[in-house]
Amino acid sequence: MAKDGITPRSEDYAQWYLDIVRGADLADYAEVVRGCIVFKPTGYALWEAIQSGLDQRIKATGHQNAYFPLLIPKSFLMKEAEHVEGFAPEVAEVTHAGGEKLAEPYVVRPTSETIIGYFYAKWVHSWRDLPLLINQWANVMRWEMRTRPFLRTTEFLWQEGHTVHASEKDAERETLLILHEVYADFVEKEMAIPVIRGRKTEKEQFAGALRSYAIEAMMQDGRALQAGTSHNLGQNFAKAFDIAYTDQKNQLQHAWTTSWGVSTRLIGALIMAHSDDEGLVVPPRIAPLQVVVVPIFKTDSERLRVQEVMRCLTVEWQGRLRFKVDDRDQFSPGYKFNEWELKGVPVRVEIGPKDIDKGTVAVARRDVPGKPGKSFVPQRGLTEYLEGLLASIQQSLYGRALKFREEHTYEAGSYRELKDGVEKGFVRAYWAGTREDEDKIQEETGATIRVIPLEQPPERGKCVYTGKEASQMVVFARAY
């Protein structure tokens, strides 16, 4: 174990992840409630930053927020055959309330297609009511067998969009709009995590969907993490809940619905995409705190001088930088340096007596940990310098993650190469196999087809498993 009790990534990646969660004070285990966590203030602030970036995009694409009940009549869940099958094993049920057994049990929502479907059936009558574009920010509960902080918890927070459209084409356009303009755009631009946009195979798609799409990101251990999904539900739920409208020709038509979601799992993605053995690394654009200032002084008169300079410098930052002055005097500067590195604040500014004499400050960038990332910068023009530095850190983190993914992506022409590749990262391979073939591969290698990328090579190839001619290239990986 290194200092701070952070296990190096190279030694034990899973333990490293847990050490970061604990060290950066993101979450606590809710040990009295199985599989749940407490989002501590630092962790919750990350979620709020994620929420804000997504919410903006969700609204910019024409959606409105609403909120539906946490409890869903159990019978609702049963109405869509594949949906029940997919979710039944993991729902929690409320059987008693008010001291009595309920006539019909409720389930705690694992996702809200059914309850929202019920209301949409009441709200949609005419083609003029469409599209209906609603999003909800909510908590959901899934009784998973194995949980890990953020990546998979029994209760988690997410947003789920639920829309209704007049035609398959409209629903498909919506599904892809969300994938590109909301999810991929947010995760790449704000979280600095490159993603592969693609379609899910039948094996991996949402229970009850016609087609599922996802963005997949690579973590630093080469495994894939699904960072967001968008589903074209076809008419499955519209038929199950009788969501229908009268079209321009006065014909009654079943509508087409979509649903799409991202969850607090994104916090796990953030950790595993950028952090290092020193602690958490947060991209500046979503960092709740972008700059921390550590004043340095020995005597009272030095303290006053430092405080004065600090005040002059930071007054300009209001509204331009999210910053904090760490003026706790019970900790030494060295301690603070390490603590803020552990917590992932992108930039640290140190101001001490020597700086005041020279008219400089020390600036340390988190993406280059320790002394190598530290330099002395003139006080004049500091705000602009910091803004530029934050942008450059954002760029650098994205670039680094993209380079990592490229270096850990392999082309496989044979099953042997596929097996080897998924040990180390993503494998791109031609595919013409069946669902059964995919099951078999998962059994043998632990890997699944993460996505069928939307961007396909122009030429056809030979299926990595069956040897048949294949028209599509897929990405295999072991997944979280």
- Restricting to residues 227-246, name those near RNA by CB under 7 A: 227, 229
> Which is it for the CA torsion 363, 369, 371, 373, positive or negative?
negative
Closest distance between RNA and the C-beta of residue 56, in Å? Answer: 21
Query: Which CB atom, from 229 or from 236, has the smaller least distance to RNA?
Result: 229
Using CB under 7 A as the binding criterion, the count of chain residues that bind RNA stands at 76
Query: Which CB atom, from 158 or from 410, has the smaller least distance to RNA?
Result: 158
Closest distance between RNA and the C-beta of residue 172, in Å? Answer: 19
Q: How far apart are CA 263 and CA 157, in angstroms?
A: 6
Residue 250 binds to RNA (criterion: CB under 7 A): no
Q: C-alpha distances in angstroms, 251 versus 41, 246, 248, 257?
A: 53, 5, 7, 18
Which run of H or of E encompasses 326?
none
Q: How far apart are CA 120 and CA 257, in angstroms?
A: 10
Closest distance between RNA and the C-beta of residue 188, in Å? Answer: 17
Residue 4 binds to RNA (criterion: CB under 7 A): yes
Residue 362 binds to RNA (criterion: CB under 7 A): yes
- The 3-state secondary structure of 141-153 reads ECCCCCCECCCEC
Residue 191 near residue 270, CB atoms below 8 Å: yes
Closest distance between RNA and the C-beta of residue 372, in Å? Answer: 8
Q: How far apart are CA 139 and CA 392, in angstroms?
A: 35
Query: What type of residue is 166?
Result: A
61, 94, 148, 402: which one contacts RNA (CB under 7 A)? 148
Q: Which of residues 33-72 bind RNA (CB under 7 A)?
A: 34-36
Q: Which of residues 370-389 bind RNA (CB under 7 A)?
A: 370-371, 373-374
Q: How far apart are CA 425 and CA 432, in angstroms?
A: 21
Q: Which of residues 313-332 bind RNA (CB under 7 A)?
A: 329-330, 332
Q: How far apart are CA 296 and CA 337, in angstroms?
A: 11
Residue 361 binds to RNA (criterion: CB under 7 A): yes
Residue 18 binds to RNA (criterion: CB under 7 A): yes
Query: Which CB atom, from 329 or from 455, has the smaller least distance to RNA?
Result: 329
Residue 195 binds to RNA (criterion: CB under 7 A): no
Decide: helix, strand or coil at residue 375.
strand
Decide: helix, strand or coil at residue 106.
strand
Q: How far apart are CA 259 and CA 398, in angstroms?
A: 28
* DSSP H stretches of helix in 408-460: 415-424, 435-445
Residue 350 binds to RNA (criterion: CB under 7 A): yes
Distance from CA of residue 356 to its chain's centroid? 42
The DSSP result for 30-47, as a single string, is -TTSTT-EEE-HHHHHHH
Q: Which of residues 255-294 bind RNA (CB under 7 A)?
A: 261-265, 278
Please compute, for residue 130, the number of CA atoms within 13 A of its CA located in the half-sphere on the CB side. 27
Using the rule CB under 7 A, give the single segment among 124-132, 175-183, 354-362, 398-406 that binds RNA: 354-362
What are the backbone angles phi and psi of residue 267, rounded to the nearest 5°?
Answer: -65, -40
25, 48, 144, 181: which one contacts RNA (CB under 7 A)? 144
Using the rule CB under 7 A, give the single segment among 64-72, 131-139, 252-260, 347-355 that binds RNA: 347-355
Residue 29 binds to RNA (criterion: CB under 7 A): yes
Closest distance between RNA and the C-beta of residue 127, in Å? Answer: 31
Residue 211 binds to RNA (criterion: CB under 7 A): no
Q: Which of residues 393-452 bind RNA (CB under 7 A)?
A: 442-443, 446
Using the rule CB under 7 A, give the single segment among 95-103, 114-122, 150-158, 185-193 that binds RNA: 150-158
103, 145, 252, 315: which one contacts RNA (CB under 7 A)? 145
Q: Which residues contact 81 (CB under 8 A, 6 or more apart)?
A: none
Both tokens assigned to 171? 């629903």
Query: Which CB atom, from 127 or from 385, has the smaller least distance to RNA?
Result: 385
